[in-house]
Copies of this chain bind each other. A is one copy, B any other.
Amino acid sequence: VRISELADVTGVSIPTLKYYLREGLLHPGRARGATRADYDDTHVERVRLVRTLIDVGRLSIDRVREVVTALDRPPESRHLLLGTAHDVLRQAGGSPPSETMTARLAALGLPDCVDSPASTQLAQALSAAEEAGWHLTDATLTSWFAAMKRVADADVVPELAAMPPGDALRHAIVGNVLTDPVVIALRRVAQEALSAERFSPASEHQASR
């Protein structure tokens, strides 16, 4: 189909589609003469992915380009897939984790920081919290890790083993982008539920007597 139809199907304007083409977020269509090109289902799917990453994931254009580049050349090993997914999703930059932090996480039984983007991300998030004066106890971290294993149990599904690498990588990236906000919202709902239990007007009344 022509670019105007790609715009109709995806709901993304022609200028924006041309921008995605220039920025390398969308692969070129098949040339049909000097001024037109044909687009197919792979373009529709890619445009939807780019919108999801930008609108829901709030990824920058550069990060989206990293994602699509990774999708076009996924690692062969299942084991490396998640590392690649986590690498493109995490905030770029930041200083490498300190030895103290690495040792602390290892002592808690968390995987070490050398090869894993997730462990690096964790060490950086913890360091940022501590620098801002927010200390998390080992007991809290251990309990939270157990909780997040329960969450991850629904993420790392056996079906991943049967998918082609590119599909498995897209599944991991899109799954995290779309459901991180769900997990965070559930945390807020859980906080409100516990707050209602612990600080409801009735218990406040009792406390003030």
Interface residues, chain A, with chain B CB atoms under 8 Å away: 48, 52, 55-56, 77-79, 81-83, 86, 89-90, 110-111, 116-119, 121-122, 124-126, 128-129, 132-134, 136, 140-141, 143-156, 158, 160-161, 172, 174-176, 178-196, 198-201, 204, 207
Q: Specify which chain B residues have a CB less than 8 angstroms from the CB of A128 in the assembled complex.
A: 55-56, 178, 181
Q: Which 10 A-B pairs have the closest CB atoms?
A: A118-B188, A152-B190, A122-B185, A78-B199, A125-B181, A147-B150, A129-B178, A148-B186, A156-B194, A147-B147
Q: Specify which chain B residues have a CB less than 8 angstroms from the CB of A160 in the assembled complex.
A: 199
Q: Which listed residue, B179, B199, B207, touches A129 by the CB 8 Å rule?
A: B179
Query: Known: A149-B194, A198-B158. Contact between A144 and B186, CB under 8 A?
Result: yes
Q: Which listed residue, B116, B144, B161, B201, touches A192 by the CB 8 Å rule?
A: B116
Residue of B nearest to A192 (CB): B118
Q: Specify which chain B residues have a CB less than 8 angstroms from the CB of A181 in the assembled complex.
A: 121, 125, 128-129
Query: Known: A181-B125, A185-B121, A186-B144. Contact between A174 and B132, CB under 8 A?
Result: yes
| Cβ contact within 8 Å between B194 and A153 | yes
Query: Known: A186-B122, A207-B161. Contact between A134 and B178, CB under 8 A?
Result: yes
